């Protein structure tokens, strides 16, 4: 009755157009607000299984294919009892850390590292919402300052609402009609949200909430009450918001055709790093609820006495070593005792919170590892879950582009650091580059990028202008440019690593030409087309002569850059980057023509890591062929770090080639590893080139020093300092 009166009172008021789009929106909000005030009292208690996956990955953008860096899963059985008491029994944990293998070059990670991660990443307080949000929104302790719920008492002061669309959810015995209500702030604040609420039009229950967090204190709160403390916190938050975004989604399921219960909860924190590496690192937590048993009149029994709980609910609860665990001996390190005994014997934590208390019981590490999951651990999320996350990211990224930059913290324009500020190669000598990026407001996923570079050796100014749409299903680039390009698809001549190798050692491992024209390039992000790139271009090709003959020490002569056939050409190409198990495979085809001369090229490369007799290694194979007229800009080269080490780049040039590189660790030393290698390759013109050598790999080839010797035919010993080389 009280709820009905509230709905009637709110709906009868004159519509506040600054808050509600129309009368229908105001009426739906009134229904949801009434339900929020009088939360469901039908659910007295429930038990459920809770599975949580923590994952961190990296990619070129939030929609591009991600490389998993770490994955961790927890299984628990929970019991909840009104008004808000919660008991969590952790059953099992498991983890994979591909990042360690990437950095160390190991094919298999030491189980001791993963075992420690399994036990250390068990949350020490409830990491999910057991029933419904109160007047604030916080998931897994994020944000630092809890955000104001749109249905809170002061929600209409800070938010504006509009009905977007409606959906039908078919459940056994009932069809649920829910309306999507868009929520956007009217003004800034300490912590707010923007996003969408889906409201059951019959009951007023919020069945899904998808939000982007905004505000001045998302990542840090003032340490004191002075204006200086507030200003300092806002400044620190502004820095963090430039590269960090935080999103959440909470879904409910209709259990027993009656109870709206938590079903899936998602939290995502995305770091976009535009400096040098141009990388996006999303950290995601997905919690799913299943195997519900509602209203069994359970009695909760807590292990920690009430009078032993901390006085401040925000503090971490008491840690109690389980029966059987010994206490610290005199002189023994408390930290050692805490970590070691907690793993060996398990522990219980608990504290008070709103309208109740909570307790988490964690068994010994051996029990966590022995849990029967029933399924094999997958390093990456399954396709259906990836698609759901893609939808969430796409919706919130679009909303972020529409909001004022002072709320999101994302700059609309500024210097772009995607390209190297400094380069060194044989056709430009040392060169300096600068980029600028503009992100128009209201045009989702879109940016305009301009870049310019000046070579001190050739006194030539180059640059480009690109319109980019980096959306959930594809990245589309439309570019105009006058730029230095490389003749082969796998060389790294314009990278910082090649620049440093050229400066310090005097080796430039690429051939170049000057391209002036326009290009359309599409790289797909979804499903079977993921990492497939199609491009079409019209370009003027000009030869570039060697403008630099010495390295930093003035003691090396750089090889002459060969000429190309000059003229205006049409270029078309299709390439793909795949993963097959632990192996990576890259393939591509390209056609170039000026209507009188035509040449086509196809190529493939495969990188296969392996373990043999306890040693890790890697096999890299390449093959390619060109057909048609002799155009140097599409011919293939053998010799150099990418084909046969021990020989200068492009020792042989022809229409066909093949190469194989075998690396084997002498012994594994974690982050640094001594390596021996042997290479072979040919252009089908004579006996194959054969090279051998040894090197020191640091961080799996992030930095690598090689000493190589060409055996057949004999060549001088060659030293290379490589960055991001093949391990």
What is the rounded CA–CA span in Å between residue 604 and residue 585? Answer: 7
320 vs 639, residue with greater confidence: 639
DSSP-derived secondary structure for 638-672: E-STTS-TTS-TTSEEESEEEEEEEEEESS-BTTE
What is the rounded CA–CA span in Å between residue 152 and residue 14? Answer: 20
What is the rounded CA–CA span in Å between residue 512 and residue 99? Answer: 34
Q: Are strands 356-362 and 85-96 parallel, antiparallel or unpaired?
A: parallel
696: exposed, middle or buried (Cβ count in 10 Å: 0-12, 13-18, 19+): middle
Q: What is the pLDDT of residue 303?
A: 86
Q: Percentage of the chain surpassing pLDDT 90?
A: 55
Q: What is the pLDDT of residue 616?
A: 82
Which alpha helices (H) appear in 492-604, and where do they start and end?
496-504
Q: Name which of 38-47, 303-312, 362-371, 501-510 the model is least confident about.
A: 303-312
Asked, as a colleague might, if the bond just before 83 is cis with ω within 30 of 0, I would say yes
pLDDT digits (tens, 9 = 90+) for 696-717: 988 777 788 999 999 989 999 9
CB contact set of 318 (below 8 Å; sequence gap of 6+): 304, 308, 309, 310, 349, 350
Is the distance from CB of 180 to CB of 164 less than 8 angstroms? yes
Average pLDDT over residues 205-218: 94
Is the distance from CB of 163 to CB of 179 less than 8 angstroms? yes
Beta-bridge partner residues of 48: 78
DSSP count for the chain of H helices, then E strands? 11, 34
pLDDT digits (tens, 9 = 90+) for 96-120: 887 766 655 544 445 666 677 777 7
The DSSP element (H or E) to which 29 belongs, if any, is helix 23-37
Beta-bridge partner residues of 433: 453
pLDDT digits (tens, 9 = 90+) for 57-83: 888 888 888 888 889 999 999 999 999
- The top-scoring range by mean pLDDT among 280-284, 290-294, 523-527 is 290-294
637 vs 308, residue with greater confidence: 637
Mean pLDDT of the chain: 87
Kindly list the distances between the CA atom of residue 611 and the CA atoms of 276, 724, 727, in Å, as whole numbers in the listed order: 33, 21, 13
Q: What is the pLDDT of residue 1?
A: 47
What is the rounded CA–CA span in Å between residue 433 and residue 415? Answer: 11
Summarize the chain as % helix, strand, coil (round to 5).
Answer: 15, 45, 35
| 609-646 exposure pattern, b = at least 16 Cβ within 10 A, e = fewer | beeeeeebbbbbbbbbbbeeeebbbbbbbbbbbbbbbb
Q: What is the pLDDT of residue 102?
A: 62
Kindly list the distances between the CA atom of residue 620 and the CA atoms of 50, 604, 714, in Å, as whole numbers in the listed order: 43, 11, 23
The structure tokens listed for 25 are 């929106």
Q: What structural domains does the chain harbor?
A: 2-407 (no CATH), 412-563 (no CATH), 565-727 (2.40.160.50)
pLDDT digits (tens, 9 = 90+) for 488-545: 998 989 988 899 999 889 899 999 999 999 999 999 988 788 889 999 999 999 999 9
The pLDDT of residue 283 is above 50: yes
pLDDT digits (tens, 9 = 90+) for 663-682: 998 876 667 889 999 999 99
Q: What is the pLDDT of residue 321?
A: 53
Is the distance from CB of 623 to CB of 604 less than 8 angstroms? yes
Look up the pTM and report it.
Answer: 0.85
99 vs 611, residue with greater confidence: 611
Is the distance from CB of 54 to CB of 285 less than 8 angstroms? yes
């Amino acid at each position: 009755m009280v709820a009905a009166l509230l709905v009637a009172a709110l709906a009868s008021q004159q519509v506040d157009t600054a808050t509600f789009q129309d009368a229908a929106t105001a009426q739906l909000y009134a229904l949801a607000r009434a339900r929020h005030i009088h939360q469901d009292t039908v659910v007295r208690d429930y038990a459920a299984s809770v599975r949580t996956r923590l994952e961190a990955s990296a990619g070129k953008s939030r929609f591009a294919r991600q490389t998993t860096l770490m994955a961790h899963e927890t299984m628990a059985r929970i019991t909840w009892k009104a008004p808000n008491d919660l008991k969590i029994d952790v059953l099992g944990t498991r983890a994979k850390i591909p990042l360690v293998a990437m950095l160390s070059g190991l094919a298999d990670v030491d189980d001791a590292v993963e075992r420690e991660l399994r036990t250390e990443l068990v949350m020490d307080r409830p990491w999910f919402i057991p029933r419904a949000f109160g007047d604030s929104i916080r998931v897994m302790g994020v944000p630092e300052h809890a955000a104001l719920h749109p249905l809170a008492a002061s929600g209409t002061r800070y938010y504006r609402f509009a009905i977007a669309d409606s959906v039908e959810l078919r459940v056994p015995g009932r069809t649920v009609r829910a309306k999507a209500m868009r929520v956007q702030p009217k003004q800034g604040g300490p912590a707010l949200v923007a996003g969408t609420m889906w409201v059951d039009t019959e009951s007023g229950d919020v069945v899904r909430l998808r939000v982007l967090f905004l505000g001045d204190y998302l990542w840090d709160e003032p340490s004191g009450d002075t204006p200086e403390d507030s200003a300092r916190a806002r400044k620190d938050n502004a820095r963090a918001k430039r590269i960090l975004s935080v999103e959440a989604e909470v879904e409910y399921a209709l259990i027993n055709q009656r109870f709206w219960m938590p079903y899936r909860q998602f939290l995502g924190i995305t770091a976009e790093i535009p400096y040098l590496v141009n990388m996006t690192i999303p950290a995601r937590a997905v919690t799913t609820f299943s195997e519900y048993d509602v209203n069994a009149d359970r009695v909760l029994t807590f292990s920690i006495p009430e009078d032993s709980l901390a006085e401040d609910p925000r503090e971490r609860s008491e840690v109690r070593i389980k029966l059987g665990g010994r206490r610290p001996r005199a002189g023994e390190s408390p930290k050692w005792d805490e970590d070691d005994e907690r793993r060996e014997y398990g522990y219980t934590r608990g504290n008070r919170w709103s309208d109740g208390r909570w307790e988490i019981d964690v068994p010994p590490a051996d029990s966590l590892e022995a849990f029967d999951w029933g399924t094999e651990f997958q390093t990456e999320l399954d396709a259906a879950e990836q698609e759901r996350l893609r939808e969430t990211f796409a919706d919130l990224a679009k909303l972020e582009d529409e909001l004022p930059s002072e709320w999101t913290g994302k700059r609309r324009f500024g210097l772009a650091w995607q390209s190297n500020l400094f380069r060194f190669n044989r056709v430009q000598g040392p060169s300096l580059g600068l980029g600028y990026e503009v992100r128009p407001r209201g045009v989702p996923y879109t940016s305009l990028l301009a870049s310019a570079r000046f070579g001190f050796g050739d006194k030539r100014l180059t640059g480009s202008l690109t319109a980019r749409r980096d959306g959930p299903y594809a990245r589309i680039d439309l570019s105009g440019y006058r730029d230095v390009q490389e003749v082969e698809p796998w060389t790294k001549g314009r990278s910082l690593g090649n620049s440093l190798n050229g400066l310090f050692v005097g080796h430039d491992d690429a051939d170049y030409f000057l391209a002036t024209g326009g290009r359309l390039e599409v790289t797909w992000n979804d499903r079977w087309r993921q990492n497939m790139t199609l491009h079409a271009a019209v370009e003027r090709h000009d030869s570039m002569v060697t403008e630099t003959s010495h390295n930093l020490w003035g003691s090396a002569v750089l090889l002459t850059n060969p000429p190309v056939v000059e003229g205006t050409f049409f270029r078309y190409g299709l390439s793909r980057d795949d993963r097959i198990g632990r192996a990576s495979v890259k393939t591509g085809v390209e056609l170039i023509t000026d209507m009188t001369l035509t040449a086509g090229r196809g190529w493939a490369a495969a990188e296969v890591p392996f373990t043999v007799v306890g040693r890790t290694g890697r096999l890299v194979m390449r093959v390619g062929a060109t057909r048609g007229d002799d155009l140097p800009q599409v011919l293939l080269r053998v010799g150099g770090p990418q084909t046969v080490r021990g020989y200068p780049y492009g020792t042989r040039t022809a229409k066909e080639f093949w190469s194989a590189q075998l690396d084997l660790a002498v012994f594994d030393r974690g982050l640094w590893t001594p390596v021996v290698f042997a290479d072979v390759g040919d252009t089908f013109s004579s006996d194959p080139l054969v090279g051998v050598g040894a090197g020191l790999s640091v961080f799996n080839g992030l930095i690598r020093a090689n000493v190589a010797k060409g055996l057949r035919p004999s060549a001088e010993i060659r030293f290379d300092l490589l960055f991001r080389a093949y391990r």
